[in-house]
Homo-oligomer: A and B are copies of this chain.
Amino acid sequence: MKIGSILTTRGDWLSPGNGHHPIVISSRVRLARNLAKLPFPGWAKKTERIRILDEIKPEVDGLAQMRSSFSEHLNELSALEKQVLVERHLISREHAAKGMGSAVVINPTQAVSIMINEEDHLRMQAITAGLELQKTFRVIDDVDTALEAHLDFAFDPELGYLTACPTNVGTGMRASAMVHLPGLVLSEQINQVINSVNKIGLAVRGLYGEGTEAMGNLFQVSNQTTLGENESQIIERLNKVIETLVQRENQARENLLETKRPMLLDQVGRAYGILTHAYSVSSKEALNLLSVMRLGIDLGFFPEEGRILINSLLMETQPAHLQHLSQQKLAAEERDHLRADIVREKLKDLPKPNKNKLSGGQAAGPAPETQ
């Protein structure tokens, strides 16, 4: 599979009919593994890293799960191509900075991606639409099991899997869900909710992980600890918290519909009005307005079919995607214009607003899909 095919098709989890959830955008699980008795990538010399890569990559390429994958050394990819992969959450920002001695393998549905010589020798992730943490774990666990038959992973009977960073020692697993919480943000409950999630040992981060800002009301919730619990326990606990978050978000939306319906109508109307008429939209503004549009769909102000359109726009209006689309490097201003053009054009396909819902005079109950 060529990089072009990856970059021009969207992953399964962004395609219609794949278990979309109004609040949980996606579930991801990644495992960190290292070969026994070999230095971690950050400590290894270049020749060692290349030797490690040469040992791992054929095994990854040979996996049944990774048949017909896109498989490439990072030095063969342009900065822009790597950036597109980052924007798709297929590689980490750290991995995009790597070149010779590192590689990435992505299966055709873009559900599984494997980074070689990131912070650890192996970082394997699976991503699924909606709230599917157990299922997502099984996918990547199968990959791990298959690889372990051929590779000798650094493992300590006391500690578990050994990793470059101590925070990953043990299961080497980070499970996360990307959640869309505009209701909790609009009703100003979000900080309180984040604090209570933090208190039970889970992390809440922005769109691109650690240190990134929460934009578009999107949050990543993940386990902090990898020691002292097995994978199933961690996922079970995370799953419960996500379910509670979904409940809180739905309550917040119902309250807003009851007590602040005009404000909601105004926000959704403005987001639609700006996105369909602006000629320059920054990345951050696009995220925030598309987030509000998504809420409008969840609340039934726009038909259900719009959700896939919004999901794609969230992906395709990111800086590297825009530049890849136009086959050239674009200055921020040029990107903002192209972004506005694409959004205006694509939103023409959005089915017309549900007038009676939008008029504000009708029953104010939440739309069924938010129940």
Contacts and interface: CB of A to CB of B under 8 A. Distances in A.
Contact of A266 (B262, B269, B275, B279): B279
A134 interface: no
A370 B133 CA distance: 62
Interface string A252-283: 00000000001101100110111111111000
Contacts of A277: 269-270, 272-273
Contact of A279 (B265, B279, B280, B337): B265
Interface string A42-67: 00000000000000000000000000
Contacts of A262: 279-280, 337
A340 B266 contact: yes
A166 interface: no
Contacts of A273: 270, 272-278
B340 A279 contact: no
A124 B337 CA distance: 52
B276 A263 contact: no
Nearest to A272: B277
Contacts of A365: none
A201 interface: no
Interface string A349-371: 00000000000100000000000
A312 B278 CA distance: 25
A131 to B, nearest CB: 32
Contact of A269 (B265, B272, B279, B360): B279
A272 B274 CA distance: 8
Contacts of A272: 273, 277
Nearest to A280: B266
Contacts of A340: 266
Contacts of A360: 279
A298 B85 CA distance: 46
A270 B263 contact: no
Contacts of A279: 262, 265-266, 269, 360
A272 B278 CA distance: 9
Nearest 10 CB-CB pairs, A to B? Answer: A273-B277, A273-B273, A266-B279, A269-B277, A265-B279, A266-B280, A273-B274, A270-B278, A269-B279, A269-B278
Given A262-B279, A270-B277, A270-B278, 11 more contacts: A262-B337, A263-B280, A265-B279, A266-B340, A269-B278, A270-B274, A272-B273, A273-B276, A273-B278, A274-B274, A279-B360
15 contacts: A262-B337, A263-B280, A265-B279, A266-B279, A266-B340, A269-B277, A269-B278, A269-B279, A270-B273, A270-B277, A272-B273, A273-B273, A273-B277, A273-B278, A279-B360
